[in-house]
């Protein structure tokens, strides 16, 4: 019996492990242990080792957000895209049970390895949200402040709901946020 993978199947598995254990905590042996994928296969797909694995995961996450969140915010109906963001984000982060890997990497030394990817992810999120807010009627300054605040609170809510082991904190924060941004665009 021998299971055959391709790169695209492995990346989401790696993502979940990095999320749970962090970059330093995700050792090669724990990865093989949790996925059943041997070192040989891992190094076959990611010759650059752990760093390339994490890089691929970050790129995958970025691509998902680009398509599901940023692009709609930039190009679709503004109010609709913002509303979709709340539900997409709540689903994606599993009501706070799942962590934002980009945010987690930003907090420790791992930031130095992936500085560009981490900065980009948040810059583009804030920019996209600001764009939607302006199209929905905010001034540029107001939109910038609210966009920053929105992304900021999402990250904080992930920390807080995990710390308190209370997923209602996350969903509740999103609702409060949705109301505030909604009030500013009508």
Partner DNA sequence: CAATATTTGTACCGATCAGTAAACTGATAA
Partner DNA sequence: TTATCAGTTTACTGATCGGTACAAATATTG
Site membership for DNA, residue 19 (CB under 7 A): no
| Of 13, 160, 178, 184, the one binding a second copy by CB under 8 A | 160
State the Cα–Cα distance between residues 21 and 41, nearest whole angstrom.
21
Of DNA, a second copy, none, which one does residue 90 interact with (CB within 5 to 8 Å by kind)?
A: none
Instruction: Give the SS3 label for residue 82.
Output: helix
> Which one of residues 11, 14, 50, 124 is an interface residue with DNA (CB under 7 A)?
50
Cα distance between residue 36 and residue 17, in whole Å:
12
Measured in whole angstroms, the distance separating CA 34 from the mean position of its chain's CA atoms is 22
Query: Counting contacts by CB under 8 A, is residue 16 touching a second copy?
Result: no
Q: Which of 29, 8, 26 is nearest to 17 (CA)?
A: 26
| Residue 21 in the binding site for a second copy (CB under 8 A) | yes
Site residue total, a second copy (CB under 8 A) = 44
> Is 60 buried (19+), middle (13-18) or exposed (0-12) by CB count in 10 A?
middle
* Footprint (CB under 8 A) of a second copy, residues 114-133: 115, 118-119, 121-123
**99 touches which of DNA, a second copy, none (CB within 5 to 8 A by kind)?**
a second copy
In the complex, what is the shortest distance from the CB of residue 122 to a second copy, in angstroms, rounded to a whole number?
5
């Amino acid at each position: 019996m021998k299971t055959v993978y391709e790169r695209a199947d492995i990346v989401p598995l790696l993502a979940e492990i990095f999320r749970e254990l962090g970059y330093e905590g995700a050792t090669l042996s724990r990865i093989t242990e949790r996925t059943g994928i041997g070192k040989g296969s891992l190094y076959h797909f990611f010759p650059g080792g752990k760093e390339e694995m994490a890089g691929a995961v970050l790129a995958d996450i970025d691509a998902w957000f680009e398509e599901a969140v940023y692009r709609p915010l930039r190009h679709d109906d503004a109010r609709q895209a913002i509303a979709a963001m709340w539900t997409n984000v709540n689903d994606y982060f599993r009501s706070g049970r799942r962590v934002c890997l980009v945010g987690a990497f930003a907090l420790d030394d791992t930031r130095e390895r992936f500085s560009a990817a981490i900065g980009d992810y948040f810059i583009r999120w804030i920019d996209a949200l600001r764009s939607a807010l302006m199209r929905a009627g905010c001034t540029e300054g107001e939109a910038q402040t609210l966009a920053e605040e929105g992304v900021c609170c999402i990250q904080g809510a992930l920390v807080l709901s995990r710390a308190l082991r209370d997923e209602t904190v996350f969903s509740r924060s999103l609702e409060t946020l949705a109301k505030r941004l909604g009030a500013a665009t009508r």
